[in-house]
Structure 1
Amino acid sequence: MEDDVPDPEPLGGDLIDPTVATPARIYSYLLGGKDHSPADRAAAEKALEAMPVRDFARVNRAFLTRAVRHLAETGLDQFLDLGIGLPAPGSAAETALSVRPDARIVGVDNDPTVLAHARAHRGDPELSGATIVAGDVRRPAEILGNPEVRGRLDFDRPVAVLLVAVLHFVVDEDDPYGAVRTLMDAVAPGSVLVLSQVTADLDPEGIRATAKTYARSSVRTAVRSSKEIAAFFDGLEPVDPGLVLLSQWRPDQHVLAGDDRIGLYGGVALKR
């Protein structure tokens, strides 16, 4: 399902318009962060009228935390976090560094607020924990060719490619499947793909209403079925338990009753 609204601002743009809600700032608000404007809060509250999007944000962040912790504990020490967003507890950088203080993390985003925050805290690992660069998953070759990305990550060794709650903001005409293939073709054997995506399989009416709210922000949205999401992992070896609802991916004590009704699929898969 796609909503026809204008494309977002160009990569790395410095224009921050607090009157237009953005996914990164809405997500910050839903996670209890502080980087959001009245427009973002209004959009989030409107979405909450349709469905429990705060629970979606919480469940998605918990999946990211569990997946990154698992990978760091098994030895992965390089992470390419696409759509890193604004700082909030349980981030990929915070989680990876808590397990492996020597981990290398590159965050990529095209939201001006995210980039401005990164510039403000450049060189301060206590606040940032990652090298953050301007980029857009719809143009993966630009990300892979970025000197800062190449200077921080060694592509001759395994890299965890994180596409967590990102691809529902990439419509089919922008070739999300090609973007994922380009990214995974560029990384070494032993690398992994970590991915989550909203689905309408569980609550189509609520998802449609929420999509309309996001259509008033700076991006279009695409909601996919479990079969369509599974196709992102083609050619990769699923890590147990495969593609599942996020609450079912190696659950821990933070998974709550009712989380199995949250319409987000996700998984981790290995490149051999």
Structure 2
Amino acid sequence: MAGATILQISGLKVAYGGIKAVKGVDLEVHQGELVTLIGANGAGKTTTLKAITGSLPGSKLEGDIRYKGESIKGLKSFQLVERKLAMVPEGRGVFARMTIYENLQMGAFTMKDKAAIEADIEKWYGVFPRLKERSAQLAGTLSGGEQQMLAMARALMCHPDLLLLDEPSMGLSPIMVEKIFEVVRNISAQGVTILLVEQNAKLALQAAHRGYVMDSGYITMSGAAKDMLDDPRVQAAYLGEG
């Protein structure tokens, strides 16, 4: 059973100059849920995530974004992390010239308890054993899938109440995509609330509790993920079926 509303987006519109990327989005995520936002390339999914984290320089933003009941418009990224909202961006964004271990330490910059940080690093090494094997390796030398694992583990180091994942499967081999989704389901099962933006609609809906479909800047459909998997419109447009 889903808990309190962690994230509530109302009437979100985002424009760059005269181009309207997001034209009116209403979306909410409850505590303990894994919610996915699916849609074609250019639908406005990543722009919606970036609007939440305030990482859209030069854009005009309308509407309301509330996290744990408070408006977060205008807050900086580090302020969001202090409030336990973390994002794994598209393209991963690891610190290439730092080791895996150092990247994970950076993820815990809001924490002061060194023993607790070390315990957390060991915990995520347990989830991502490949990172433990390579802990002294520079992040920039890792494969795309390994960098995705590191980016996720680093974000989890701040004990997020909401984790935003932007296209975690992009550019990865099919085997690595399966592994990443296995980890997403594992993290969700541990009680971490997740908003997942993903082009692989089938895997996203199989992992999620609820889903939203975005098309041309609008939310065009929402509902229980298992129902959406069976919806002929979703199958025809996004699952290659029907």
| Bigger strand fraction | 2
TM-score (norm 1): 0.31
TM-score (norm 2): 0.34
Q: Which has the higher contact order (CA 8 A, sep 6+)?
A: 2
